[in-house]
Amino acid sequence: MLLVSSDVTLFFFFLNSTFDVVVVGGGIVGLASARELILRHPSLTFSVLEKEKELACHQSGRNSGVIHSGIYYTPGSLKAKLCVQGAALCYEYCDQKGIPYKQCGKLIVAVEQEEIPRLKALYERGLLNNVRDLKLISAKEIQAKEPFCRGVMALDSPYTGIVNYRQVALSYAEDFQEVGGAVLTDFEVTNLEMAKESPSESEDGIKYPVVVRNSKGEEIRCQHIVTCAGLYSDRLSEISGCSHEPRIVPFRGDYLVLKPEKCYMVKGNIYPVPDPQFPFLGVHFTPRMDGSVWLGPNAVLAFKREGYKLYDFSARDFIDAVVYSGLWKLVFRNVSYGVSEMYRACFLSAQVKQLQKFIPEVTISDILRGPSGVRAQALDQDGNLVDDFVFDGGTGDIGSRVLHVRNAPSPAATSSLAIAKMIADEVERRFCL
């Protein structure tokens, strides 16, 4: 493994601090994009900057691990296209690299008769999206696939799988470094500005006009910047003089886990039929590569952008969220849903009741509190969840040299290789590489 650690960051910093393109953000989208760019342009110099001491620590390493097949998304939309392409590329990449995965499938289960029309509409949508091997199955067929699951009808997606996305992201980083890319960890970008003079001993003039500084006062220079900063995408946009919108509001998702001796009750992914009245999907059953089974998650406002515990708090993050009018518009439209989510976050029995709709045998004695993740939810001023990709640049010297990937919504991990191709196309178009 070639990954650069923070212990050698300073050495590399003094050895070579100029790059043609810098990618800010060492998550799965940033690493996939850096990999794609350097494979297309091996004669250019590239670097990835990550504020943590390790890569893929946040959303990329704290997600459900599901390789989605592309059922849910509006036919013809970018999300639908990229998910279907991305799933195929993900499986192909894992096969090439020997990264283990399981194609364990997914059932989207209707537990009430009134859900069946929505389930059938979802089936039609999946067909329009060219999702592989979809079919509607009966209650008896549900039990043949998931003996402990109860439902009146289900949508069967055998192409859905699971993988460890942090392992995938680290493999992207290794690919990037093997062909000459530089990974600088423990480098939190706090300022971008135009250089006023050439670096010392440079004969290139202002070939690298953008100065990127970190929280320790160190700096590198580059020609162009691509940001894939997830939870901090709006703040990086602001410091480069680009738009404030959309804003990022963090939502924490808390998972439960089945006790090891009860994992036999779940074979593949079991999902609810989405309710369009509510902004989030609802609880589901997710097998993991290590053999465990995650249950959930809920969705509650996080009081810190990387607040994985109930009591984690950042005054700045909290104030940024609560003074934003878009959040309050979302809250007022979904008061009952939000209260229910908070209640289930506090009381396990309430979440178990939701799970029992699908597997009645699950009891509170069968579960433990599990890990949490924080979702970088982009919101607009009207309180709408921004559900598609947002690219942003700006005017002026800095803005014209920056491409911000402001929103890469779920299923970004599944779609990472397809998204990377799209980002690389956009970089080439904007910066004439």
The region, left, alpha or beta by phi > 0 then psi within -120 to 50, assigned to residue 205 is: left
Identify the residue whose tokens are 């990974």. 183
Spell out the residues 6+ positions from residue 259 whose beta carbon is closer than 8 angstroms to its own.
366, 367, 368
Q: Which of 122-126, 257-261, 295-299, 340-344 has the lowest mean pLDDT?
A: 340-344
89 neighbors 70 (Cβ within 8 angstroms): no
Q: Which of 327, 329, 311 is CA-nearest to residue 319?
A: 327
Instruction: For 407-422, write each residue's pLDDT tens digit.
Output: 887 799 999 999 999 9
Coil, strand or helix: which one is 177?
helix
Identify the residue whose tokens are 């297309």. 40
Mean per-residue pLDDT, 322-333: 91
Q: Which of 63, 106, 110 is CA-nearest to residue 294?
A: 63
Domain with CATH 3.50.50.60 in the chain: 6-59+166-246+388-431
Instruction: For 97-115, write each residue's pLDDT tens digit.
Output: 999 999 999 999 999 999 9
What are the distances in angstroms from CA 179 to CA 20, 71, 414, 417?
Answer: 15, 36, 24, 17
Predicted model pTM = 0.93
Domain with CATH 3.30.9 in the chain: 247-385
Report the Cα 415 to chain-centroid distance in Å.
10
> Is it true that domain 247-385 has CATH number 3.20.20?
no
Please check the confidence at residue 199 and state whether its pLDDT lies above 80.
no
The pLDDT of residue 337 is 76
The pLDDT of residue 279 is 62
Task: Annotate 181-249 with DSSP letters as a single string.
Answer: -EEE-S--EEEEEE-SSPPTT-SSSSSS-EEEEETTS-EEEEEEEEE--GGGHHHHHHHTT----SEEE
Instruction: For 139-188, write each residue's pLDDT tens digit.
Output: 999 999 999 999 999 999 999 999 999 999 999 999 999 999 999 999 99
CATH ID of 6-59+166-246+388-431, from 2.60.40.680, 3.40.50.1820, 3.50.50.60, 3.40.630.10: 3.50.50.60
248 neighbors 378 (Cβ within 8 angstroms): yes
